[in-house]
Amino acid sequence: MASTLKFDSERREMRRERHEARVARKRERQQARQLKHAHQGDVVSLPRVAIERPAAAPLVEAAREAPVSAAEPETAPEPQSPVTHAPTVEDCKPFVAQRERDVAAFLARRDEVIDAARTEARERIERMGEERAVADALSALAHSCAAPWRRHRERLAEAISTGRIPAVGACARRACRGAASDAARTSRRAPDPELALAVAVAYAVIAQAPWCAVRGARAERAGAASREHRGLRRAYWR
């Protein structure tokens, strides 16, 4: 029993010592914070005039000591040229606008070629007659020089084989427009413009008299075609 009471008293003593130690440490921390705040207040309250740099008085005196000579006029800064530094109007235009202009110029050239081909086709028909002009155009399209436009010639042959005049006229007009597009091209890989124009003229002749092409095909099938038209194998642009 006595040992138990002694143990309890010792435990209470240890607790009291720990509590007093915590209170002492807490009091020390509070005192340290107060001293820190007081020190910061003293630093802030110091006048800032002592640490500021003095005014630039020596520069003014040096400028007074070395006056500008009257014989040397002050040179104004050169103005920048607006032509060299300002962006031009062409640089501000987008790429789409340039492409649209190129397409518009190409279409204008193609229309000019089509008009020239139709004008020459009318002259050939008036000079030679419809049947002879159409036969000459068909023989010219069968020439080896017109091989780049073989696809248009095959379509025209299919349209002529059907015997339908509107189909032949429409196919000849499309072929004339395609050959005129080749004549209006300006790239290095474009075909000969004079040769393309001649092919466009041949298709324009057939487009203005498609019934003669159908009639000639029917006559050939019946064996009544003239020997002159069958044996003609020269290109009329030569």
pLDDT band, very low/low/confident/very high, at 37 (cuts 50, 70, 90): confident
The domains of the chain are located at: 97-231
Give me the pLDDT at residue 75, please.
54
- What number of other Cβ atoms are within 10 A of residue 204's Cβ? 28
Give me the pLDDT at residue 160, please.
92
pLDDT beyond 90 at 83: no
Rounded Cα gap, residues 176 and 207, in angstroms: 8
Q: Whose CA is closest to 168, among 201, 132, 214? A: 214
Q: Mean pLDDT across the chain, nearest whole number?
A: 77
Q: Whose CA is closest to 140, among 207, 206, 217, 57? A: 206
Average pLDDT over residues 227-231: 49
pLDDT beyond 90 at 173: yes
Rounded Cα gap, residues 194 and 126, in angstroms: 22
Give me the pLDDT at residue 51, please.
47
Highest mean pLDDT range out of 35-39, 51-55, 135-139? 135-139
Is 168:152 a contact under the CB 8 Å cutoff? no
Give me the pLDDT at residue 178, please.
92
Average pLDDT over residues 138-145: 90
Going by C-beta distance under 8 Å and a sequence separation of 6 or more, which residues neighbour residue 170?
Answer: 159
Going by C-beta distance under 8 Å and a sequence separation of 6 or more, which residues neighbour residue 204?
Answer: 114, 117, 118, 120, 121, 172, 176
